[in-house]
Chain A
Amino acid sequence: MSDSDTVGRPGAPGLARGARGGAAPDTAPEAPISTPQGSGGTPAQPPKVITRPGDKIFKALTVGSGVFVVAMIALIGVFLLIQAIPSLADNQANFLFGRDWDADPEGGLAFGVLDLLLVTVFSSVFALIIAMPVSLGIALFLTQYAPRRLARPFAYLVDLLAAVPSIIYGLWGAYVLAPALAPVSTWLNENLGFIPLFATGTSNLAIGQTIFTAGIVLAVMLLPIITAISREVFDRTPPMQVEGALALGATKWEVVRTTVLPFGRAGYISASMLGLGRALGETIAVLIILSSTTSHFGFSLFDGGDTIASKIARAAQEFNDPRGAGAYIAAGLVLFVLTFVVNAFARSIIAGHKEYE
């Protein structure tokens, strides 16, 4: 109300301009309105700001919370760095490109993180490749196809998957899924073994302590995360968009394709990256499932090995020597940085589509 009053006075000369602007086709009719307001020229009175104690307290609280989060992340980074530097200085191997891990301080430190990093990324990406399409399917089913009566309990069930502790997933993976997958992995290995992905690896297929098993378990763990966020985003598709597509004669799938998917795309990608972050850091399930090995990672799904997180967890009981522990903390630092890279990557994807939102 008061807004239109203030615009009224300086807007008067602008009105004539606006009318002519309407005739000239390339100027938008709304454009002139902002100009007279900005260059009004009337000596602006100092605005009277009313502040009550509540404002001050609330502001302090919110600013404090914001600073706290940033400080926490910075402090964690600094902690990792400080702990890692002495060990890195003593390291006799190339840390980033070395493939062998010897963090026993007795014989001199020689640790390289490359193999751990590769297994971490490889298993997580494999999990993501399985989880992304399945989550997309579940989220679309829940928001677009399922009858409302079914959608709610079903969504609740999917959310419940996120609440299952990862140790349970680990046990299930190692004792139920791993043997059950043996025929599948044997078949893949025998028939598609010429592809490096399915080549014979370091792990026994009959027992199934492979990256293949771990990746599938990780995928199940990612499902609820990606599904929950995607579902929220898809649900927020503006009804006007949906009606617009329907009125053009779009079928259900065409409505999804022209409105729901483009609208939810950025949210779906963020959700997937959040899931990837979870997979990269997952520790206990991977620790239980994967068989440890001393041979190098060969880019096969049927390799064993260790991710950064599971390697650290395996050694955690023996952190009695700061130099040995420092080696593991250095690996942790790599994981820390990796999650940052993943997040930055996700953001760059989303930013690329900003124009259309």
Chain B
Amino acid sequence: MAKRIDVKDLNLFYGKFHAVDGVSLAVPPRNVTAFIGPSGCGKSTVLRSLNRMHEVIPGARAEGKVLLDGEDIYASTVDPVSVRRTIGMVFQRPNPFPTMSIRDNVVAGLKLAGERNGKKLDEVAEQALRGANLWAEVKDRLNRPGGGLSGGQQQRLCIARAIAVQPDVLLMDEPCSALDPISTLAIEDLIQELKKDFTIVIVTHNMQQAARVSDQTAFFNLAGVGQPGRLVELDDTERIFSNPTQKATEDYISGRFG
């Protein structure tokens, strides 16, 4: 439960293209870390490398270390599938499995892990849906398809699906970018609650959102077109938004570029 992440000198590539250069950062447990920065600066790429989803893209590879409570998830003995079982992920667009019911969506991860006990699955489904603030809205239609929910509900269903397996870390890749303001608020509230149990890393394009939900913020930037993205600054969210040490961070936050 709720492990810390230490990234050490991480370089990420898409084929020959060097996408992210030498990122080192630390994410404490039970903490929300936000990644901000202009488009193409590699923040999503870094996020995806934290549960080895980066490498599922053909030609993509990673160099460096990502330590989960001191254990390198890129060690040669580590199976990426088992990494992804302990580090959950929520994507930009809600992606519930359309052919599964709401309940089956939530317990999909557990079923993959081999849990067959129907009663246990029902319990976990309820717990996860309550955890994602969705239980009250769907408890009467658990056997209906997940695709019939609204966008915001679908995203919370995906969060329920991710937390149902009790991951150590929860990664969120712009989880609100496809949602309306009310649903966004619901997700942001939810992040505050999930923080009690999980280590959370969130990528967002919305700086107000980063300021609202995160404890620390990492600013990524590109040196120029075709150059790799890099981490400019990582600090407490309050400091980043009031008194950043780097000029580039200040320019970005005050809206002078990007």
Contact = CB atoms under 8 A, between A and B. Distances in A.
Given A244-B91, A247-B88, A249-B165, A357 B98 contact: yes
A259 B56 CA distance: 16
A318 interface: no
B145 A355 contact: yes
Contacts of A19: 182
Interface string A248-276: 11110010001100110100000000000
A92 interface: no
Interface in A9-26: 18-19, 22, 25-26
Interface string B165-197: 100000000000000101100100000000000
B19 interface: no
Contact of A248 (B85, B93, B153): B85
Interface in B66-124: 81-86, 88-89, 91, 93, 95-100, 108-109, 112-113
| Interface of A: prevailing SS | helix
Contacts of B95: 238, 240-241, 243-244
B182 A22 contact: yes
Most B Cβ at <10 Å: residue of A22, A259, A263, A357: A22
Interface in B35-67: 51, 53, 56, 58
27 contacts: A18-B182, A22-B186, A25-B136, A25-B137, A26-B137, A28-B150, A29-B152, A29-B183, A30-B180, A238-B95, A240-B95, A241-B98, A243-B53, A243-B56, A243-B91, A244-B96, A245-B97, A247-B89, A248-B108, A249-B112, A250-B112, A259-B97, A263-B98, A356-B98, A356-B99, A356-B145, A356-B147
A236 interface: no
Closest 3 CB pairs of A and B: A249-B85, A262-B99, A247-B89
A148 B58 CA distance: 10
A9 to B, nearest CB: 19
B158 interface: yes
A263 B100 CA distance: 11
A248 B99 contact: no
Max chain B Cβ within 10 angstroms of own Cβ: one of A30, A251, A357? A30
A167 interface: no
Q: Which interface class (under 10, 10 to 19, 20 to 34, 35 or more) fits A? A: 20 to 34
Nearest to B88: A247
B89 A30 contact: no
A96 B136 CA distance: 59
A246 interface: yes
A174 B6 CA distance: 68
B97 A249 contact: no
B97 A247 contact: no
Nearest to B149: A28
A235 to B, nearest CB: 14
A249 B93 CA distance: 19
B131 interface: no
B22 interface: no
Contacts of A262: 97-100
B91 A250 contact: no
A248 B53 contact: no
